[in-house]
Amino acid sequence: MRQEPETAQAQDMIQGTRVGFIGLGNMGGPMAANLAAAGYPVTGYDPVPAAAERAAAKGIRMMPTADQAVAEADVVITMLPTGQHVLNALSGDGDSLGLLAAAAPNALFLECSTISVDDARTAHALMLEMGHRGLDAPVSGGVVGAEAGTLTFMAGGAAADFAAARPLLEVMGGRVVHCGDAGAGQAAKICNNMILGVSMIAVSEAFVLGEELGLTHEALFDVASAASGQCWALTTNCPVPGPVPTSPANRGYQPGFAAALMAKDLGLAADALDSTGVRAELGRRAGEIYRDLTASGGGGQDFSAVIKTIRAASETPAAPEADAGAHHPTEEQQPAGTTQPAEQSGAV
């Protein structure tokens, strides 16, 4: 968790910035908690009782509706599962006025969900039409980063709005990048996760091949982690237990970043490829592989569990050290956004 500001002047500025936070699931909950711990007055809403209770215990003042949560907010943060959820929340759905109509004039909207570039730009246009300011600001770093306040924020929107949002983003994140105009944050997120999905498959294929060739996991890791094969999927989220003790493989592939969420993000990447005409065979194939993993019941496991799919397709028996602690997720461990509407796909 991030430290509270040290100066009285900084504390006065923070206490004068009211935050409305919509979506307090696996990602949004810890993010809001860090803002509250830093001194920001945070009012929140989540339709899932358990999420609302956890948020209230962390100092967020919970409201019975989303409209009420943002009525007095200077800054509105949304962390929702899909683009349609975001657009419905902004414009109103059913008995709701919608966040844009309910919020105070000239509020600053920070849309932190992972959604399509087109949806992000539509949301931004709606914000401006209703007299507000806005950024798309998806995140990378997963639940661990959300809890620790070390997320990477990729922001798209006007430079002045980014400057206004930066103090809040820096409470929740360790790195904050202005990527360009509206939609640029989502574009960066989609491209990053396409790299990540492909690289995890490549690393997993290499470990399965190494097993067949007689290499121990540690030997391959020691070589590749110090050579040209080095990447985050290997050195931080290693798909086999042992070489990186903190990787999900050491806890039965409990996420982490769930395979279903990787499948979702690669689906967004495929949509972007279609709309731009870019040929990206590996990115598309990676999406198919993660969708298959999800359809076969592995969606609640960490995306590094794709190594088990590769073994099965290769008819390769799992090495004892690579199959230790096999894990079958319970409903409570399902990824954000797959069973509850307010749980967010946190991004890696």
Q: Residue 123: in which H helix or E strand, if any?
A: helix 117-129
Residue 209 pLDDT level (bands cut at 50, 70, 90):
very high
Structure tokens at 268: 């967004």
Residue 320 pLDDT level (bands cut at 50, 70, 90):
low
Is the pLDDT reported for residue 335 higher than 50? no
Is the pLDDT reported for residue 327 higher than 80? no
Mean pLDDT of the chain: 89
Residue 247 pLDDT level (bands cut at 50, 70, 90):
very high
Proportion of the chain above pLDDT 90, given as a percent:
82
Written as one letter, the residue type at 47 is P
Is the pLDDT reported for residue 9 higher than 90? no
Q: Between residues 306 and 2, which one has the greater pLDDT?
A: 306
| Environment class of 97 (CB within 10 Å of its CB; exposed 0-12, middle 13-18, buried 19+) | middle
Structure tokens at 248: 């999900």
Per-residue pLDDT tens digits for 46-64 = 999 999 999 999 999 999 9
Per-residue pLDDT tens digits for 15-48 = 689 999 999 998 999 999 999 999 999 999 999 9
* Cα–Cα distance, 107 to 90 (Å, whole number): 13
Mean pLDDT in residue range 223-231: 98
Say if residues 135 and 109 touch (Cβ distance below 8 Å): yes
Q: Residue 44: in which H helix or E strand, if any?
A: strand 42-45
58 is catalytic: no
Give CB contacts under 8 A, 24+ apart, made by 291-299.
291/263, 291/266, 291/267, 293/259, 293/263, 294/259, 294/260, 294/263, 298/259, 299/258, 299/259, 299/260, 299/263, 299/334, 299/335, 299/338
Give the active site residue among 58, 189, 264, 308.
Answer: 189
- Number of Cβ within 10 Å of residue 326's Cβ equals 11
* pLDDT score recorded for residue 13: 57
* First-to-final CA distance of the chain: 18
Mean pLDDT in residue range 167-171: 97
The residue assigned the tokens 């990206």 is 280
Say if residues 76 and 103 touch (Cβ distance below 8 Å): yes
Per-residue pLDDT tens digits for 270-297 = 999 999 999 999 999 999 999 999 999 9
Mean pLDDT in residue range 91-100: 90
* pLDDT score recorded for residue 348: 47
Q: Are strands 151-156 and 139-140 parallel, antiparallel or unpaired?
A: antiparallel
* pLDDT score recorded for residue 342: 35
* Cα–Cα distance, 173 to 171 (Å, whole number): 6
Is the pLDDT reported for residue 211 higher than 50? yes
* Cα–Cα distance, 103 to 50 (Å, whole number): 25
* pLDDT score recorded for residue 214: 97
Any residues with CB less than 8 A from the CB of 8 and at least 6 apart, and which?
none
